[in-house]
Chains A and B, each alone.
Chain A
Amino acid sequence: MAGTLHRLPTVTPARRLAWRAGAIAAALAITTLFLALSGRDPRLLADLVVRSAVGSRFGLEDLALFLTPLLLTGAAVTVTGRIGVWNIGAEGQFYAGAIGATAVGLFLPGPAWLVLPLMAACGIACGMGWILLPALARAYAGVNEIITTLLLNFVAGLLTTYLAVGPWHDRVTGALASTGRLPVRIPEIWGVVHWGFPIALAIVLALAWLTTRTRWGYQITIGGANDQAARYAGIPVRARILGAMLLSGGLAALAGMFEVAGTVHRLQGGLANNFGYFGIVVAVLARGSCLNVLPAALLMAFILDAGIVLQTQQLTASAVLAITGLVLFMIAIADELAHYRPVTVRRATTGAEARP
């Protein structure tokens, strides 16, 4: 008699959820252990994190501010994922959106009710423009989108820094690396939380509906599941890939517009704060479902928020990043382990030995 593992071909959602909960607990346990070893009191820190991240009004406001861009970038990556395309460039499209929005904000004076929609429109257009080339290359020439979208991130990041320290540099306050404060802002609804938050929530819900309840969503699903079958059914797969990628670019760009017009109020280098990359993480956690983006983004936002709290306790930013990585790593392991079930094996003799 010996115990061994057997791989299940499919996993029920409940089983996966249970494993993920276990993974998060395990990651927290490991973190606690390391904090204790480095001479800190984990209980004190945990208490602090819980109290300031979810137990206080400021913590909750911060959580919402983190959640807003994560919902949009997470949805952006999920939408392309449904047709089998990986948009690794949400970070770049985020910057492009922020740049487009800032251009309108800085150079087009007018009432907020007019300028804000224009900023959003211009930002979205810039984000779509940023993904257009990779999208065309992928749809019509089969060029792998992972490399192209990724490389454009660095271009967008550097372009933002250049604009912020160069031509659009704020000459009034003399701040080092940012543009001047934008004359208009997205109005707040609750403390520092602006209208971008409910809009982002609504957009994710709308996308969940779009991807499962519309003809377009059905075509995307088929195209992602088997593109030969999609061609057989006469679905214009290339056009759908192009459309999904443009939508994705627009969503990430809107996150950039919200960030610049709602939270930071100026364009500066590093504005995207890795929200684009965290969007990939959110999408991986969401496993292709737009509805799942909601809890996945919430988890990610909580981790980031907790990280800020820990940084105030003299933990370095890299330690916080390591904890983030640990949580995601454990979840990835749990997703795989959820496929295994222990079975008891009776092995009188192995076949190899029995062979004459």
Chain B
Amino acid sequence: MTDPRHAPADGPPPIAPGTPPILQLQGICKYFPGVIANQDVSLDVAPGEIHALLGENGAGKSTLMNVVTGIYQPDGGEIILDGYGQSFAAPQDAIRAGIGMVHQHFKLVPAFTVAENIHLGWRETPFRASAKTLESRTRALSERFGFSVRPDAVVADLSAGEQQRVEILRVLARQARLLILDEPTAVLTPAETRDLFRALRAFRARGNAVILISHKLDEVIDISDRISILRAGRHVGTWRTADCTAAGLATIMVGREIVRRDLRARAPGAAAIARDPGAAAPVLSLRGASCRDARGIETLRDVTLDVHGGEILGIAGVAGNGQRELTQVLTGMMPLSAGTVLLDGAPVPLADPAAFARAGIGHIPEDRLRSGLAPSLDITDNMALREYARPPIGRHGLYDRAAAARLAGTIVAAAEVRVPDLATPIRNLSGGNQQRLVARREIRIASRVLVAAYPSRGLDIGAIATVLRYLTDLRDQGVAVVLVSEDLEELLNVADRIGVLFHGRLMATIDAATADMETIGLLMGGRSAPNGPTSGGGHA
């Protein structure tokens, strides 16, 4: 870890031999009813290293970190901090000992400002502080740690990347020496990820340590010093990153090799794209569609597009350029301020999500926990969300719990998720397993169209391959698929056409067979002609 090749500014600092690890785990076990979340996990994290923690969905990564930060008590094993045995009764104890964690699902208070969130539940918050004081303190912190935030902004109005900076700043302000990040880049744009990594390297250079959980292997190889892998709750091993390749890691994680196939190619006998002249009208179309947010700002501007049966339409763009609005318009969740939605060529009079679902339009929403699931309810109730009004669950105005449980069992089996019992609240499932269940639930009702927003977010690479196969299977059955993604490689790999959104406008729709990353990248930045002058605008 004293590799001289690293630049001294952000490389790991030289560590004197014999320095104890910041954190050492010895034989940690954690069990839930019917689930072995962690079994005999031993690993150590040295000062001045970024330690990546990998594993499939449900491998026990989040649970292990929750044990380290005192949210859960271990059922066995020891946590050793700076050479001394420690046991944290509550997260506050861990924070006091210098361990800070940013969770997979953010835990900020949406209605509070950034400054208020930073100071919430903090010993050093002045007893009587005006909003002004808090904001200036926040500004000072943000300069000290190199995380730019807007102290007076309300958290609910922030992008995912901004919210995450607030979370990290909150932790750093409490003098964390060990920063734990649970899938921090899942919701970040590439630019935000670069900023985050720059800040993490600076943090490491000061002799601190980072544990990073991620499913994005390229990123992990880019930033980490060592990599540990969990499989089914057990520690498989720890390697120096320099010795690892993405393919090798994937094989160890999943236990088999993952090959990226060209998913655009059709299997023999698959439905053809229903786009030829003379074919039926497109399944779903937008004509001049615009919509406005609560403040009256146009978030979708004059979008016209057609989705045909048997094709995958990819939607690219930097997050926050109208993707959410587009998916909501296509699934009946948001009314248009101008333009029309056409279903099978006929205008749809009313934005009614239930009617869209009945018409065979499935929707994997961007933020599954907030809008696709009711976290406190059990798996059964959550899996019935789309079919509760249809037989066999909903007959004569009743809700047949037994039938709902059978449906949930079917979905759980199809999604290949192991659950101890269907009465488990869905928030107890791992993030990736929640995502798989939502995907399977929506595929069931998507007999005509599936609108999938970031369906691979939070999934391990094996599961991503599976979900993409779900999509291509649907396509081969003649279903139209709209795939919103920030991963251009993924889009180029599965989509037939790619539309690019910029500032709510559909810049262009291009054929994926001839498209290249560069063209799409330019369009994403608002430039319409790939070879034209840089000032060529797509602005309104």
Query: Measuring CB to CB, which residues of chain A are less than 8 angstroms from any residue of chain B?
Result: 4-7, 9-10, 212-219, 221-222, 225-226, 228-235, 343-352, 354-355
- Shortest CB-to-CB span from B22 to chain A, Å, is 10
Q: Tell me if B354 and A233 are in contact (CB < 8 A).
A: yes
Interface majority SS on B: helix, strand, loop or mixed? loop
Tally the A-B contacts, defined by beta carbons under 8 Å. 114
Which chain B residues border A351 with CB–CB below 8 Å? 81-82, 86, 93, 96-99
Interface code B352-364, partner A: CB below 8 Å = 1, 0 otherwise? 1111110000010
| In-complex Cβ contact of A222 among B71, B356, B385 (8 A) | B385
Some 16 contacts from A to B, beta carbons below 8 A apart, are: A215-B388, A215-B394, A226-B371, A226-B373, A228-B370, A229-B371, A232-B333, A232-B385, A233-B385, A234-B356, A234-B357, A235-B354, A347-B86, A351-B98, A354-B81, A354-B97
Which B residues lie at the A interface, using CB under 8 A? 71, 73, 81-82, 84-87, 89-90, 93, 96-99, 175, 177, 332-333, 352-357, 363, 365, 370-377, 381, 384-386, 388-389, 394, 397-399, 401, 425
| A212 CB to nearest B CB, Å | 7
B354/A234 in contact, CB under 8 A: yes
Are B385 and A214 in contact, with the CB atoms below 8 A? no
Q: How far is the CA of A103 from the CA of B399 in the complex (A)?
A: 39
**Given A222-B381, A222-B385, A351-B98: A6 in contact with B73 (beta carbons within 8 A):** yes
Chain A residues positioned under 8 Å from B84 (CB to CB)? 348-349, 354
* A218 partner residues in chain B, CB cutoff 8 A: 381, 384, 388, 399
A243 to B381, CA, bound (A): 21
Could you tell me the distance between the alpha carbons of A288 and B87 in the complex, rounded to whole angstroms?
36
* A232 B389 Cβ-Cβ under 8 A: no
Of chain A, the residue at the smallest CB distance from B354 is A234
Contact of B82 among A10, A231, A343, A354 (CB under 8 A): A354
Contact B397 A216 (CB under 8 A): yes
Query: Does the CB pair A214–B399 fall under 8 Å?
Result: yes
Q: A349 to B93, alpha carbons, bound, how many Å?
A: 12
Contacts of A354 in B (CB 8 A): 81-82, 84, 97
Residues of A within 8 A of B87 (CB): 343-347
Would B97 and A213 count as touching, CB distance under 8 A?
no
Give the distance in Å from the alpha carbon of A97 to the alpha carbon of B54 in the complex.
Answer: 63
A349 proximity list for chain B (CB < 8 A)? 84
Nearest 9 pairs between A and B by C-beta? A351-B97, A234-B354, A225-B374, A234-B353, A226-B374, A348-B84, A218-B399, A4-B89, A228-B371
- Please, which residues of chain A bring their CB within 8 A of the CB of B332? 234
Q: Name the distance in Å between B423's Cβ and chain A's nearest Cβ.
A: 12
Q: State A215–B398 Cα separation when bound (angstroms).
A: 5
Minimum CB–CB distance for B204 against chain A, Å: 17
State how many angstroms separate the Cβ of B97 from the closest Cβ of chain A.
2
Q: Is the CB of B381 within 8 A of A346?
A: no
CB distance from A235 to the nearest CB of B (A): 8
A350 to B88, CA, bound (A): 10
B370 and A226 form a contact (CB under 8 A): yes
> In the complex the two chains form, what is the Cα distance from A221 to B96 in whole Å?
39
